[in-house]
Amino acid sequence: MTKQQKAMHEKRFPNESEDYRRSRLELLEAEIGLRRQVESVARLRRELPLGGKIREDYVFEEGEEARPVRLSQLFGDKDTLIAYSFMYGPKVERPCPSCTSIVDSLDGASTHVNQQASLVVIGRSPIARLRAFAAERGWTHVRLLSSAKNSYNADYHAEDASGSQWPVLNVFTRNGKGIYHSYASEWLFAPADPGQDRRHVDMIWPLWNLLDVTPQGRGTDFRPKLSYG
């Protein structure tokens, strides 16, 4: 164990071995390095120039009355809008289990996120269908919108030419000149990193980060389901 490692902290746990402590402090150094890298990437995101101005003020539907709401109205009193595209198109019987896991988490986090930025979840199915599934899951906080009557999904790559849905995270920002696209989780469309699962929205998906602290890790075959026996 190096002097630098010994100086990191003096906390010890019952009956741990020297081998464990040495390895754990090596891991701690790596964890600190990883945080620095995460912060560096986050800074690059913040420093992106403005993306393209939106081509139209998309009209969505929400609520029991399927009331119309424009994208510009979704910001509320914030200047940033985070929009997650939920894979539940009109042609599929049930929504994507992985997306469902993500929105399960966003529903709980939304009241906190909305203190800093507006957060919405957008699905291509009619609003009544989205709301029925939300009631089944117990979602009560996250703002749920239908894009069934506009081209938002196609324009922002949450839907391809065949009508298949994609789980894209898009961010928009507004200023005195209009509303602009700021960021999208484009790793979804890039070549897969060899040996890596291309989960491009892990940063908003607590499931995997929790499993990563366990001895067995994420596992190679596990995927979220809509229900478990």
Residue 202 is assigned to a structural domain of this protein: no
Residue 134 is assigned to a structural domain of this protein: yes
Cα gap 192→20, rounded to integer Å: 34
Residue 133 is assigned to a structural domain of this protein: yes
Residue 108 is assigned to a structural domain of this protein: yes
Mean pLDDT of 30-49: 96
pLDDT digits (tens, 9 = 90+) for 87-136: 999 999 999 999 999 999 999 999 999 999 999 999 999 999 999 999 99
Band of pLDDT at residue 2, cut at 50, 70 and 90 = confident
Domain total in the chain:
1
Cα gap 89→216, rounded to integer Å: 34
Mean pLDDT of 26-38: 96
Residue 38 is assigned to a structural domain of this protein: no
Mean pLDDT of 200-213: 91
Quick one: how far is CA 183 from the chain centroid? Answer: 12
User: What's the confidence (pLDDT) of residue 194?
Assistant: 85
Burial class, 198, CB count within 10 angstroms (exposed 0-12 / middle 13-18 / buried 19+): exposed
Task: Look at residues 94, 147, 103 and name the one whose alpha carbon lies nearest to residue 123.
Answer: 147
Mean of per-residue pLDDT scores for the chain: 94
Question: Which stretches of 5-131 are assigned E, i.e. beta strand?
Answer: 59-62, 67-70, 80-86, 118-123
Res. 32: pLDDT tops 90: yes
Cα gap 205→14, rounded to integer Å: 32
Structural domain for 85, as ranges? 59-186
Share of the chain above pLDDT 70, in %: 99
Residue 223 is assigned to a structural domain of this protein: no
pLDDT digits (tens, 9 = 90+) for 53-91: 999 999 999 999 999 999 999 999 999 999 999 999 999
Share of the chain above pLDDT 90, in %: 85
Residue 208 is assigned to a structural domain of this protein: no
CATH of the domain at 182: 3.40.30.10
Range of lowest pLDDT (122-126, 145-149, 219-223): 219-223
User: Which carries the bigger pLDDT value, residue 27 or residue 197?
Assistant: 27
What six digits make up the tokens of 132?
């029925």
User: What's the confidence (pLDDT) of residue 91?
Assistant: 92
User: What's the confidence (pLDDT) of residue 199?
Assistant: 77
User: What's the confidence (pLDDT) of residue 1?
Assistant: 66
Q: Is the pTM of this model over 0.95?
A: no
